[in-house]
Chains A and B, each alone.
Chain A
Amino acid sequence: MDVTTLTYIFVGLSFSLYIGIAFWSKANSTNDFYVAGKGVNPIANGMATAADWMSAASFISMAGLIAFLGKDGSVYLMGWTGGYVVLALLLAPYLRKFGKFTVPDFIGERYYSKAARLVAVICLIFVSFTYVAGQMRGVGIVFSRFLEVDINIGVIIGMIIVFFYAVLGGMKGITYTQVAQYCVLIFAYLVPAIFISILITGNPVPQLGFGDTLVGTDVYLLDKLDQVTRDLGFNAYTENIKSNIDIFCITAALMFGTAGLPHVIVRFFTVPRVKDARKSAGYALIFIAILYTTAPAVAAFARVNFIESIQDTSYESSPAWFKNWENTGLIAWQDKNNDGIIQYSAGSAIEGRPQYTPERGSEGQRLLSNKSNDLNDNEVYIDRDIMVLANPEIAKLPAWVIALVAAGGLAAALSTAAGLLLVISSSISHDLLKKTFKPNISERQELFYARCAAAVAIFIAGLFGIYPPAFVAQVVAFAFGLAASTFFPALFMGIFSKRLNKEGAIAGMVSGLIFTLTYIIYFKFLYTEFNSADYWFLSISPEGIGFVGMIINFIVAISISSITNPPPKEVIEMVEVIREP
């Protein structure tokens, strides 16, 4: 069977599984819909959290990013796992004890203010929508490359599936589909990684193979990679390019952002007891670490394989994947010296993203209308997003492995999208309607509004997938900076300080948001020509600025609180109660 047929079978099977679970776990109350009746087993919740957390970015993009960033890519590995330590120790158990439905719920009640709740809802919607847009693009990429359908049809199919289980099942449906999705995605990630590890190093465990010698030699993989990257004019793979302070801030922004992401926090509201919330964070990190410790190995293997399979080969005899991805528009070849041979080295081959002309060149390659970059000899443009998806093809693995990876990528994107859509819908039906504007609605009505809000959110997310704003990929990384600079301080101080009051919390969140957003917009959208270390504040890149925003939030919140009245007695009592297990 060919790859496309197999992919249809794998994707079809996994999708019917998800829909089946949706019917089986239909939500009957708001409690079911928002927090799965608080009856989820901690191990199952750990898996669901892991699937919720590991998005298209983790599954599809991360290893590719690391493959090209080398050691600088560690920020994602440490940032996106270390955040769970912060979450498990400082937030999850206490927020579970608080025992309500949403993150704005906690902020609204702890800071006894509808305004605080509203600020939290606005931050939440902003963070979650930027994030969900990235997922839908992931769905589109997988569909267009592997099922050879139009990206838009792919996005619509994805929307229908998510609609089914998110609108019908709410959190309950989402939780149990996420458990299934975790199994699909981790299997799909590990199988090719293990195969490739055996092929390259002879060691079946990618985490160890990564530090092993190449088959048939006594040269370590990483030493070889350092040498190859250096020879081609790149920095050595295992050395940093970014400054230490920037790496420090990016890692911190990702960690505290992770701990402050509403769709992750809310997963800890679904377990029966405080004890289970702690346990569940531990299991979640194990399940996540299985992928996150494999990813850097995949990255190193992919970089070696990629260079070896195309460097100095003629286009005519280049592997099929090279031409397939060229057809999808994610690889391009500009034959600068007209010798018909692919030369890959440091520097960007062309200016900007490839713009293809309808013609083909003498070798059959797609011609580009971009200006070629004459400062270097590199002839290859490659979109980093394709490395994980192309890796099995590059390593010449069997067709079923390639099909499996497609199903895994979809599972990763859909599970995260569903989790995000749920927090968006519950913040609208619960925080905006029930708690702010229409307090008199019955539970049945609230559930109805929650379903409507989920449906509308899915529709908007789909539009993002079909008409992706050009900046989606960048914005997803900034969602973390925004979460770190708004939510984390308000949640942390809400538990660990009895003195922080509503004035302080609101001023802190607003100043963190404005500072971080302004910095990002200034460098990333308005004055991109100044976006370099020379102009950055303390040489901190926009990716890491959320950490500074978080510190500003803390300083503002504490100083405003100290000159205004302390919180009322009931609130202090509430803090005492959530501190007990």
Chain B
Amino acid sequence: MQLNKDGYWKENIKILVSLLSVWFLVSFGFGILLSDWLDQFQLGGFKLGFWFAQQGSIYIFIILIFIYIHLLNKLDKKYFGDRDSGDDN
């Protein structure tokens, strides 16, 4: 069981690190640090950097959480089967 638990936690951390890198890139990266540079590109009537800062980053945040839900559900199943994690207190 111990080995199992360590494996679960390691894979979990890997998922967190990759998702949070995207989170950082779209907000702090595209929305702030690289925003002025991205503004030379146009997305319809938006400058691209401005769009990331006021729209795009938010859409990607939602997608990230749902990818996380999906990956973790799969991971839970792999290590713990269909165990129900509810408690009754």
Query: In the complex, what residues of B have CB within 8 A of residue A21's CB?
Result: none
Contact between A248 and B32 (Cβ–Cβ < 8 Å)? yes
Answer whether residue B62 sits at the interface, using C-beta atoms and an 8 A cutoff: yes
Contact between B45 and A71 (Cβ–Cβ < 8 Å)? no
Within 8 A of A (CB), among B13-32: 16, 19-20, 23, 27-28, 31-32
Within 8 A of B (CB), among A53-96: 66, 71, 73-74, 77-78, 81-82, 84-86, 88-90, 93
Query: In the complex, what residues of B have CB within 8 A of residue A88's CB?
Result: 65, 68
Interface 9-mer from A304-312, A474-482, A573-581: A573-581
Whole-angstrom CA separation of A84 from B19 in the bound complex: 13
Whole-angstrom CA separation of A282 from B76 in the bound complex: 18
Whole-angstrom CA separation of A252 from B45 in the bound complex: 28
Contact between B39 and A78 (Cβ–Cβ < 8 Å)? no
> A77 with B54: in contact, given A289-B62, A581-B72 (CB under 8 Å)?
yes
Contact between B50 and A222 (Cβ–Cβ < 8 Å)? yes
Query: In the complex, what residues of B have CB within 8 A of residue A222's CB?
Result: 45-47, 50
Answer whether residue A392 sits at the interface, using C-beta atoms and an 8 A cutoff: no
Shortest Cβ gap from A259 to chain B (Å) = 12
Query: In the complex, what residues of B have CB within 8 A of residue A401's CB?
Result: none
Query: In the complex, what residues of A have CB within 8 A of residue B73's CB?
Result: 275
Whole-angstrom CA separation of A44 from B55 in the bound complex: 25
> A279 with B69: in contact, given A74-B53, A89-B16 (CB under 8 Å)?
yes
| Interface size of A as a range | 35 or more
Taken residue by residue from 39 to 57, chain B's Cβ proximity to chain A (1 for < 8 Å, 0 otherwise) reads as 1000111110011011101
Contact between B86 and A285 (Cβ–Cβ < 8 Å)? no
Interface 9-mer from A142-150, A205-213, A424-432, A522-530: A205-213
> A292 with B9: in contact, given A74-B53, A78-B53, A88-B68 (CB under 8 Å)?
no
Contact between B68 and A278 (Cβ–Cβ < 8 Å)? yes
Contact between A580 and B58 (Cβ–Cβ < 8 Å)? no
Contact between B45 and A85 (Cβ–Cβ < 8 Å)? no
Q: How many residues of B contact A (CB 8 A)?
A: 46
Answer whether residue A515 sits at the interface, using C-beta atoms and an 8 A cutoff: no
Answer whether residue A369 sits at the interface, using C-beta atoms and an 8 A cutoff: no
Query: In the complex, what residues of B have CB within 8 A of residue A516's CB?
Result: none
Residue among B23, B35, B51, B80 making CB contact with A82, cutoff 8 Å: B23
Whole-angstrom CA separation of A287 from B69 in the bound complex: 17
> A292 with B16: in contact, given A221-B45, A278-B68 (CB under 8 Å)?
no
Shortest Cβ gap from B46 to chain A (Å) = 4
> A278 with B59: in contact, given A77-B53, A222-B50, A238-B50 (CB under 8 Å)?
no
Contact between B45 and A581 (Cβ–Cβ < 8 Å)? no
Whole-angstrom CA separation of A277 from B59 in the bound complex: 20
Query: In the complex, what residues of A have CB within 8 A of residue B5's CB?
Result: 576, 579-580
Residue of A82, A208, A252, A285 contacting most chain B CB atoms (<10 Å)? A82
Contact between B76 and A581 (Cβ–Cβ < 8 Å)? yes
Query: In the complex, what residues of A have CB within 8 A of residue B66's CB?
Result: 282
Taken residue by residue from 508 to 529, chain A's Cβ proximity to chain B (1 for < 8 Å, 0 otherwise) reads as 0000000000000000000000
Chain A residue nearest to B77 (CB atoms) is A581
Contact between A82 and B85 (Cβ–Cβ < 8 Å)? no
Answer whether residue A406 sits at the interface, using C-beta atoms and an 8 A cutoff: no
Query: In the complex, what residues of B have CB within 8 A of residue A66's CB?
Result: 54
Contact between B85 and A278 (Cβ–Cβ < 8 Å)? no
Shortest Cβ gap from B36 to chain A (Å) = 7
> A97 with B85: in contact, given A71-B53, A89-B19 (CB under 8 Å)?
yes
Within 8 A of B (CB), among A99-127: 99
Within 8 A of B (CB), among A219-233: 220-223
What is the interface of chain A, defined by CB distance below 8 A to chain B? 31, 66, 71, 73-74, 77-78, 81-82, 84-86, 88-90, 93, 97, 99, 207-208, 210-213, 220-223, 238, 240, 244, 247-248, 251-252, 255, 272-275, 278-279, 281-282, 285-286, 289, 292-293, 296, 576, 579-581
What is the interface of chain B, defined by CB distance below 8 A to chain A? 5, 8-9, 12, 16, 19-20, 23, 27-28, 31-33, 35-36, 39, 43-47, 50-51, 53-55, 57-59, 61-62, 64-66, 68-69, 72-73, 76, 80, 83-87, 89
- In the A-B complex, list the 4 residue pairs whose CB atoms are closest, starting with the nearest: A220-B45, A74-B53, A211-B45, A296-B54
30 contacts between A and B (CB under 8 A): A71-B35, A74-B50, A77-B58, A78-B57, A81-B58, A82-B27, A82-B57, A89-B16, A89-B19, A89-B20, A211-B43, A211-B44, A222-B45, A222-B46, A222-B47, A238-B39, A244-B33, A251-B27, A252-B28, A273-B86, A275-B76, A278-B68, A278-B69, A278-B72, A286-B62, A289-B58, A289-B59, A296-B55, A581-B72, A581-B76
Q: A82-B61, A238-B50 are in contact. List 6 more A-B contacts (CB 8 A).
A: A73-B54, A89-B68, A273-B84, A285-B65, A293-B58, A581-B85
